[in-house]
Amino acid sequence: MIHYFDNAATTPVRPEAVQAAVEAMTQGWGNPSSRYALGSQAAEAVKRHRAQAAAGLGCRPEELFFTSCGTEGDNWAIQGAVELGRRTGKHIITTAYEHAAVLEPCKALERQGYEVTYLQPDRAGNISLDDLEGALRPDTVLVSMMLVNNELGTVLPVAQAAKLVHQKTKALVHCDAVQGFLKVPFTPKELGADLLTVSGHKIHAPKGIGALYIRGGLKFPPMIRGGGQESGLRSGTEATAQIAAFAAAVEAGAASLEGDMAHMAALKEETLQRLTAQIPGLKRVGEGTAPHILAVTLPGYKSEVIVRFLSDRGICLSSGSACHKGKPSHVYAALKLPKKELDGVLRISFSYDTTLEDVQALAEGLKAAQEQLFTSLS
């Protein structure tokens, strides 16, 4: 039996999404750009699915553009924003613990002559609005701030930040909401975001589908030029099956959001209580308030060794973002943790289908790891 605690990395595809994808592949498989009936039916389906997804996100259908993933959406948002602001300046503000999909494009822009200010989190994982205000300049063209940190569960003050940015500058505000979508309640308008990224495989849709919200009225540059799909902003034949599955997952997740949030928050609290009670020395990392992510550390033990030990017992969790691929996490490093604590960090992430039995298996597995594994010399 598998006990899965890595939902921040990816989620199992929910039945509604599977059914929608199968129907699109077996019944509605026409090219939406074709003019005969089968193509027109596919085009109507994409239009319907866009409306479903937009309703779940809380925006207008014409503001939602399908992408292949969150990384593509982040890259498009950043590249497009700096292109739009090229006459204003070459200064960008982001946080030091954004996802690599934001940090790497920013680093690339630095090599092209842009200046990037990286806001540092405090030891609890929070970002200061005072630091943001102090970093704003007349030549700031973009502020990119994630909604929920993917390794700490910190909910960032995006709405307050956006208000500040729009009051003081002409900069655009981009929000990577990949870890926040269908985990915490928001709409792009409530956040004040001009651009906002979401991803399908974090919300029980398949991999290979995501979306970028582009505020209405913003004349945004295309990501891919070609046949004119996605209103000319992202050309290429639409991924109809993934789009159908994404819309179904959004609709189902939005309908049960309140209950799912309460369920995950309760399990998170129960997990923290059990682990701290049963495993001496285990500590929480940060003060993340998102209901689905809990970071802990077992000082003196190597997290990658614990992950392998638990995997052998059918328990899946991670030592940080899957995108690090074994490299040290820049997120936990940004907190300036002592080396023993940094080496032993584990990320536990929940879903609507996580159970108390899963939590019990995790507590027993970690206790066994502490008893059976040797501590490191770090």
Place of tokens 């206790």: 367
- Quick one: which of 253, 176, 186 has its CA closest to 211? 176
Mean predicted confidence (pLDDT) in 310-332 = 80
pLDDT at 323: 52
How many residues in the chain? 378
pLDDT at 377: 46
* 3-11+257-372 CATH, one of 3.20.20.140, 3.90.1150.10, 3.40.50.80, 3.10.20.740: 3.90.1150.10
Where exactly does CATH 3.40.640.10 map onto the chain? 15-255
pLDDT band per the 50, 70, 90 thresholds, residue 375: confident
Where exactly does CATH 3.90.1150.10 map onto the chain? 3-11+257-372
pLDDT at 60 over 80: yes
pLDDT at 320: 66
pLDDT at 28: 92
pLDDT at 187: 98
Over the chain, what is the mean pLDDT? 95
- Quick one: which of 180, 208, 214, 178 has its CA closest to 76? 214
Q: Which residues contact 154 (CB under 8 A, 6 or more apart)?
A: 121, 125, 126, 127, 148, 286, 287, 288, 289, 290
Percent of the residues in the chain that have a pLDDT greater than 90, as a whole number: 93
Eight-state DSSP code of residue 204: T
Domain 15-255 fold: Aspartate Aminotransferase; domain 2 (3.40.640)
pLDDT at 329: 85
Per-residue pLDDT tens over the stretch 194-223: 999 999 999 999 999 999 999 999 999 999
pLDDT at 378: 46
pLDDT band per the 50, 70, 90 thresholds, residue 327: low
pLDDT at 13 over 90: yes
Place of tokens 């997290």: 303
pLDDT at 333: 86
Place of tokens 């207008």: 60
pLDDT at 90 over 80: yes
Per-residue pLDDT tens over the stretch 218-253: 999 999 999 999 999 999 999 999 999 999 999 999
pLDDT at 364 over 90: yes
Report, as residue numbers or ranges, the catalytic residues.
Answer: 323
Q: How far is CA 24 from CA 31, 227, 365, in A?
A: 11, 22, 41
Per-residue pLDDT tens over the stretch 33-59: 999 999 999 999 999 999 999 999 999
Helix, coil or strand: residue 250: helix
Rounded distance between C-alpha atoms, residue 327 and residue 100, angstroms: 12
pLDDT at 326: 54
